[in-house]
Amino acid sequence: MRTASGREGRIHRMHELLKTQRIYDSSALQKWLLSLETKYAVGAAPEKYHRLVNFSANAAAPYHQWFKYREGFAGELIAELIVLSGAQKGELIIDPFCGSGTTNVVAVLSGYNTLGLDVNPMSAFLTNTKVDRYDAQDFEEIRGFLSALRNFRGGAPRKSDREVCRYFRPDRFDELVRIRSFLDTLPESRAGQLLRAAFVSIILDCSDRRRDGNGLKVSASRVEDTAAFFEEKAALMIEDIRRVRPCDGVRGFGLCDTACHLYQRYESCRDGRRAGAIIFSPPYANSFDYFESYKLELILGGFADGMTGIADLRRGAVRSFVGAQAQKACDPCIDLIAKEIEEAIPAKEARTGKKDGRTRKVPDMIRGYFSDMREVLRQCALCLNPGGKTYIVVDQSAYLGKIVPTDLLLAYLGEQEGFTVGRIVKCRNARTSTQQLNQYPYLKTTLRESIVELVRNE
């Protein structure tokens, strides 16, 4: 993983900031973080990775273009990391936070077996659909289903649909219900699975919303004919499959489960295959509720029984959002970061004259997040043989000017769970709120999105 040769590659903003400016009240904490930044020889390669750590590069790529997954990254990045990992063809490439399946698709197209886990059942379903194998008979069956759909009448909303119908123009919503009702009549088959994936992939475009920040923002739909749009999506998916096919002899799995059960799932489906590499991007410690952004697909797609069902799913997720189950202790050093945020809250409330209930929940979230991620790293270590590599794409975050250097902290926890830190590479600057930037301008050039390389100890 080549890094920049100039000053930005050797000693960059975070290092300089920790040396020259008091960010944390605890001088011991600041010195400790500076020691990690130095020890891990954090480098930078923005010219190489900047465009690859977001999903935009997948906008017109086969398979990846089916579903707009905002938190994803480019297939090109995964292909490079697989090569860097040294994984052998036929080994398993694992992603315990598979999202819409970018890692897993690249793996099967490149001659590797693959396993993807996600606590979001929609993500697991989409991943499984993408890595499955299809043939001419499946395409013929789809043509027959689409012909029958044109003449299908009927279908009624489910009780849970009431919670999201307001996000759609009535005629579009009714048409989505009709299509879904037809799909519910189909037998279990690869053809039916592909059409259900097409349906899930058009829901947001048919709504008057788009994903933004921690949820959905008003944005008028451009879809005029919902049924025609659905058929176009199905045709696009079929064309991708015909044009670009998985390598012969490889298999892929997309399973719905928490990353904290990774080793158990790996053992149940590996069929004697060795884990070649683990590549993932976990939820960031940014207090975002990722389920909120995908609630339309979760509810209309039948993956959750309304918001109550989504709340049930949320309980199994890594605690990256406020309101998760509280945790009062994690690692002593991480507890210090949580304490710094906690102790900065009264000053903000005095300045604004308002109680900040949301930020008051952040310290517990920080402790819960890194406690969960430590368990995920332990699971990764169990799956890998000595020398096996894990790559983590992750963002730093900040609260009340206190930087949460997630890349350094995951590297530190990885060392405690059987890994050596290969390197950390900055890919681009990370963003935070305008309010924070105005109050703490150093965040603009300090926060980063990075790739953390961990190597399983001998």
pLDDT at position 5 is 41
Just give the CATH number of 1-120+256-283+318-458. 3.40.50.150
Degrees to nearest 5, angle at CA 424 with 421 and 428: 165
> What are residue 263's phi and psi, to 5 degrees?
-60, -40
pLDDT at position 70 is 83
Return the number of other C-beta atoms located less than 10 Å from residue 159's C-beta. Answer: 8
* The pair of three-digit structure tokens given for residue 242, joined into one six-digit string: 């015909």
Ranges under pLDDT 70 in the chain: 1-12
pLDDT at position 12 is 59
What pLDDT, in 10s, does the model give residues 129-186?
999 999 999 999 999 999 999 999 988 999 999 999 999 999 999 999 999 999 999 9
pLDDT at position 4 is 47
pLDDT at position 408 is 98
* The pair of three-digit structure tokens given for residue 278, joined into one six-digit string: 């683990």
pLDDT at position 1 is 60
Provide the strand spans (E) within 384-443: 389-395, 397-399, 402-404, 419-429
* Domain limits, the chain: 1-120+256-283+318-458, 133-239+290-305
* The pair of three-digit structure tokens given for residue 267, joined into one six-digit string: 């053992």
At 436, is the secondary structure helix, strand, or coil? helix
pTM passes above 0.85: yes
Dist. CA 94–CA 114, nearest whole Å: 6
> What are residue 69's phi and psi, to 5 degrees?
-110, 105
What pLDDT, in 10s, does the model give residues 50-68?
888 877 777 789 999 999 8
Q: Which amino acid is at 422?
A: G
pLDDT at position 213 is 81
> What are residue 292's phi and psi, to 5 degrees?
-60, -35
Dist. CA 281–CA 55, nearest whole Å: 12
Degrees to nearest 5, angle at CA 58 with 56 and 64: 135
